[in-house]
Amino acid sequence: MKRRNIIEEDAVTHVIEFTIALTVFVIILQAFTSSMNFRIGIDLNSNDNNIVMAREVISELTGSEGLSGDSSAWENNEYGTGSVQLRNGTTIGILNSDGEIDSDKCNSLGKYPYYPLKDELGVTEQLRIEVQTLVPKETVCLWGGNPETASVSFESQRYLLYNDGTNSIPALLTVTVYEGDTPTSDLYLTEVMYSPEINGFGYEWIEFYNPNDIAIFVNSWSIADTDEKDNIVSEKNEVITIPAKSVGILTSSPATFRETYVNYKYVFSVEDVAIGNGLGTSETIILAKNSYNDVFTYTSEDGANGNGKTLARSCYNCADWNEAVASPGTI
C-alpha cells in the first residue's frame, strides 16, 4: 500500500507540472500572437496610409488648374523669387481649363525642391510624379525620386488627355509613394568665361547645370577658385533655386551679365566683387556643397584667353572641356 501511494503522489505531481507548463506555454503563445497581430496591424496601416497618400496626390493634381496669389497661372511664378512666390501657399493643379494635363503646369513642378512640394502635397514617404503618353509611349513630365530600388512602393494612376500646347494626347498620370532613397541633388559646372574681351570682374561668369528631376536650393552652395571661396547669395526675402533640367549662371554682377548677354532668369550673385579672387588664366574651380564638389582645372593653353570665347564641357558630366562660342543659359 505504501508503494502504491508513492506512485499516485508522483502521478499527481506530474499532472500538476504538466498543467503549469501547458498554461505557461499558452500564455507565451498568446503574447506572441498578440505581438504579431499588432505588428501586422501596423504594417497594414502603414501600407493603407501610403495608398491613401498616392490617391490624394492624384486628386489634388487633377482637381483644378491650381492657384498662386489671385491667378491660376501659377506656372509663371518662381519658387522663392518675385512678388508672388510658389513657396507662399500655392495650390498645385496641373489641368488646363478643358480638364487636360497642361504641359507648362506639369513641367513647372520642376520649380519645386523635393521636400517643399512633398510636404505641400502631404506625403511623408518618398514621392514620384510621372506623366507618360500612350502613343508614342514617352515620359513627358517627371518630378521626384526613383522608386526602382524601393523596398515598398504604391501607385495611383489616372488616364487623362495631355495637352502639349498643340495637340491633346492620351496619357497616364502615375503617382508613386515609396519607401527608399531620396533623389540626388548634384550640380555640375558646364561653361566658364574666365577672360572676357571687356576687362572687369563683372564680365566673368560660370555656368552650371541641374540634371535632376527636382529643383535645387542654390544658396546652400559655394564657388571657389584656386585662392578664395564665395557663397552664392540671394536678395532679401528671397530663396534662390535652380529648377529641374535648368542652367544657372554665377557672376559677381548679374546686372552686367544681363546687359551683355540676355535677360536670363537664373543668374545668381556671389558674395564678393569677384568670383573667387577673380578668374585668372590658370585656375581650379570648385562648385561645392557639404562633401560633394564638381571640379574643373584649366590653363590659358586650353583656349578662350581674351578672344570672347569660353571653355565649355562636352556634356554636363563629361571629362572633356573645349574652347567654344559663348552660349550662357544653354547646354
Instruction: Compute the average pLDDT of residues 38-55.
Output: 66
For residues 73 and 176, membership in a common domain is answered with: yes
Q: pTM value?
A: 0.84
Per-residue pLDDT at 178 exceeds 50: yes
Number of domains in the chain: 2
The model's pLDDT over 27-45, given as tens digits with 9 standing for 90+, comes to 454 444 333 333 333 344 5
Judgement on whether residues 227 and 126 belong to the same structural domain of the protein: no
Please classify residue 282 by burial: count the beta carbons closer than 10 Å to its beta carbon, then call 0-12 exposed, 13-18 middle and 19+ buried: middle
Query: For residue 330, is it within any domain?
Result: no
Is there a single domain that holds both residue 52 and residue 157?
A: yes
Same domain for 314 and 210: yes
Name residues whose C-beta falls within 8 Å of residue 313's C-beta, 6 or more positions apart in sequence: 188, 189, 190, 191, 296, 320, 321
Question: Is position 139 within any domain?
Answer: yes
Domain residues for the domain of 113 are 1-183
Shared-domain flag, residues 64 and 168: yes
Q: H-helix or E-strand containing 211?
A: none
Looking at the structure, do residues 32 and 123 belong to the same domain, yes or no? yes
Tell whether 26 and 67 lie within a shared domain: yes
Mean pLDDT score across all residues of the chain: 89
In a domain, 58, yes or no: yes
Query: What is the side-by-side order of every strand in the sheet holding 282-289?
Result: 292-299, 282-289, 222-224, 229-233, 267-270, 246-251, 205-210, 188-193, 309-313, 321-325
Q: How much is the pLDDT for 18?
A: 54
pLDDT value, residue 292: 97
Same domain, 216 and 267: yes
Q: Within this chain, do residues 169 and 229 fall inside the same structural domain, yes or no?
A: no
The reply to whether 192 falls in a domain is: yes
For residues 305 and 255, state if they share a domain.
yes
- Please tell me whether residues 263 and 169 are part of one structural domain: no
Query: Mean per-residue pLDDT for 84-111?
Result: 97
User: What is the model's pLDDT at position 76?
Assistant: 97
Neighbours of 172 (CB within 10 A): 15
- Work out the pLDDT band at 263, boundaries 50, 70, 90: confident
125 with 56: CB under 8 angstroms?
A: no
What stretches of 121-187 show up as alpha helix (H) in DSSP? none
Of 147, 164, 183, which residue is a domain's last? 183
Domain boundary at 139, 167, 183, which? 183
Contact (CB, 8 A) for 104 and 72? no
In a domain, 331, yes or no: no
The answer to whether residue 2 scores a pLDDT higher than 60 is: no
Would you say residue 165 lies in a domain?
yes
pLDDT attached to residue 14: 55
- Residue 52 domain-assigned? yes
* Bond prior to 136 in cis (omega within 30° of 0): yes
Residue 22 within a domain: yes
User: 175 and 204 in one domain?
Assistant: no
- The CATH number for 259's domain is 2.60.40
Locate 209 and state its grid cell: 547645370
The domain boundary, picked from 150, 183, 216, lies at: 183
Half-sphere exposure of 28 (CA within 13 A, CB side): 6
Segment 203-245, tens digit of pLDDT: 999 999 999 999 999 999 999 999 999 999 998 889 999 999 9
